[in-house]
Structures are given as structure tokens and as C-alpha cells.
Amino acid sequence: MCFPADLEAAALASEQTESGRSGSEVGVDSGLRRRLQLVRGLQWVRAAEGDPLATLLRGYPGDAPPVSTEPISRSATGTMLVDGAQAPELRTAGGGLADWRPTGTRVMAVVAEDIEPADPADVAALAAASPPPVTEVPDELTDLVPVAELLCARVFADLLGAGVDSLLGATPVLDNLLCPQETAVTERMLAAVDDLRAALCARTPAFFLAVVAPRLAADLVTRTAATLLADGRWPDAEGAVERTRAVYAPVRLYITNISADLTVAGEPVSGGSQVAVVTSPAALPQLLDLPLVYATADAVLTAIARRHPRLVSSGAALERPLAPATRGLAHLPVASLRTELVGS
């Protein structure tokens, strides 16, 4: 099955019903739902045809970044795919984060301008803060993912003055910029973004951190814990988050709009082009290289390790679906063996 590009544009344009309003103001009405379903279908069709960017955009667990010797490739989706490790200039050359717009029109429930800060430099200043103490680690653990998410959300709730439930509901935002989420997840996300906007004000550093930082921190916790458990090194959490960061970038794929003409590995890229960047630990966009995320992950992991020094894996870790940006874990089954608690 194949959708010609002109039919893609016409179909998506016909679903453009929000009249310039933000996705969170619209809610999941029938028009938005149809549009998101169409976008997801187009990504799957292009992936089935072998397009490497579409394969990444669909966020299917197990899909690996494409192996290529070329630093830049042209995607049938209309967005260029670039290896960020081979094009370090993209770390600062882009115009911030962008959402995937195959027709030039808004197609995602929450898009980049809904969350971008007015001054990215202010984000860096806020992200240099120290996280508050981590408390209330549960006595019983069966799945480390929801525990890590809750603990990280509590840290940012205390730091930013936001509601924990709203922080948890907004966690799919980064992935939503690239891949439509399920309807129930989208509905909760839109309500959470509205709540956070009301509490923290749009385009502020606090609002930006609220919608991106808790998920990045929780993913670092669970990826690190999974590695420690698999290697038999639990509960040795010292330096573990740094070791994970050396292997796993907190964000694996992001889209940016190039603001001026640029040359990548000898190939010209014109200003205004939309570029999808496959990251590496050394090739993160500055806006998402957040020391506070790393410090929070370290604090949460250390607190869990002290409370549960005899934690063991009780099942296979499962990757989160529809997560092309973060590619974190959806489940990390664990069990805590009985022992005297160490620390508090």
C-alpha cells in the first residue's frame, strides 16, 4: 500500500481543524484523533517501504537506528536524517526543538511552540540547580519504572512548584513531537500540559523542564538500574548514572529546523530545512543537556539502592512503545529480597 506525497498532504490538510489553537486547547476531538491516526499510519507505511527515518519515527520497540556510512540521507517523509555524531555543528545550529510536520502544518497534539522556552539560556541556569532530597521510596517493589517515574516527578514538583500528577501526565511530550500517542495517553497529556501552563506559565524555563525533565531522569534511573541488575553490580550506584550516560543518550532522536544555510559533511543543507538528528551521548542538543536531570537520576537511583540493597530482576525489561525520542523502558520487573534495611 502506498500513499503518494500529494495525497498525504491533502489528507493531512483536510484534518487541520484547530484553526491555530494549541493542541491542549483543542482536546482529543474526532478531527484530532483522525489526524493522529493518519500520521501514525503514514509513518508505518513509509517504514514498510524501507524509509529509515519513518522506521525511527514510528517508535516501535526493537527498531534500531539505521546503520549507514552516510552522515545525511533524504527521507521520503520530507525530513532529512542526520547522524549527529558526524555533524556536531547541529548541536548549536538548529533553531531549538521542532515537531514533525510532513506537510508544513500542525499535525501533533502538542507541538514545539507549545513548550519551547522564550529564552533557552534561562533553562540552562535553572537546570544547574541541585535536586531536593529524595524521600518516600516504597517498601515493596515489583516494577521499577513507575517507582522511578513517581520519585522523579516528586523531585521536580518540589523544585518547580507543580503538581505530581500533572508532571506524570506530561511525560509523553517529547515523544509526541515525533510520533502520535494513544488516545488515552494523549488526552491525559493535553490536560497535564494545560495544568502546568496554568501553574508555571507558558514558555518559561520551569514549564519547559516540567514537561521534559521528569521522563528523562526516570529513564536514566531505569536504564542504569537494568544494567546494574544484569551485571550483578546492584546496589553499587556510585558513578552508575555517568556510566549509563556514556552509552545511552537521554534523547535518541530529535527534530530541529535549520535557521541558516549549513554544510554537513560536505553536503549543503539550506536554511529552513527540517532535520531529524540521531544523537549520541556526545551529540545532544544544548537545550536537552540538563545537569539537573543527571543529578536527579543519581539521587533517585541512590535512594532506591539504599532502601532495597538486595534488589533482583524478576523478568525481562520491556521498551516503551511510541517513544522514538526517549526510547526508555516501559517495565522493569524486580523483587526485593528480605534483608535489614540499609539507610533510610
Mapping DSSP onto H, E and C, the string for 75-137 reads CCCCCEEEEHHHCCCHHHHECCCECCCCCCCCCCCCCHHHHCCCCHHHHHHHCCCCCCCCCCC
- The phi, psi pair for 245, rounded to 5°, reads -65, -25
327: left (phi over 0), alpha (psi -120 to 50) or beta: left
Taking 90 as the threshold, does the pLDDT of residue 182 lie above it?
Answer: yes
Q: What confidence score (pLDDT) does residue 263 get?
A: 80
- Give mean pLDDT, residues 333-342: 75
CA dist 111 and 16 (Å) reads: 14
Query: Helices 30-48 and 5-14 meet at what angle, rounded to 10?
Result: 160
With bands split at pLDDT 50, 70 and 90, how would you rate the model's confidence at 67?
low
Please provide the average confidence, as pLDDT, over all residues in the chain. Answer: 87
Q: What confidence score (pLDDT) does residue 92 get?
A: 66
Taking 80 as the threshold, does the pLDDT of residue 3 lie above it?
Answer: no
Q: What confidence score (pLDDT) does residue 31 get?
A: 85
Single pTM value for the model: 0.90
| More confident call, 91 vs 247 | 247
- Cell 527498531 belongs to 63
Q: How far is CA 285 from CA 44, 240, 276, in A?
A: 27, 23, 12
Q: Which of 30-44, 78-92, 194-208, 308-322 has the lowest mean pLDDT?
A: 78-92
Q: What confidence score (pLDDT) does residue 226 get?
A: 98
What cell was used for 317?
525489561
**Cross-strand bridge partners of residue 268:** 263
Q: What is the tens place of the pLDDT at every residue in 208-235?
A: 999 999 999 999 999 999 999 999 999 9
- The phi, psi pair for 4, rounded to 5°, reads -60, 150
Q: Which of 28, 62, 60 is nearest to 46 (CA)?
A: 60
Q: CB neighbours of 190 closer than 8 A, spacing ≥ 6?
A: 23, 24, 26, 27, 28, 109, 110
Q: What is the tens place of the pLDDT at every residue in 103-114?
A: 778 889 999 999
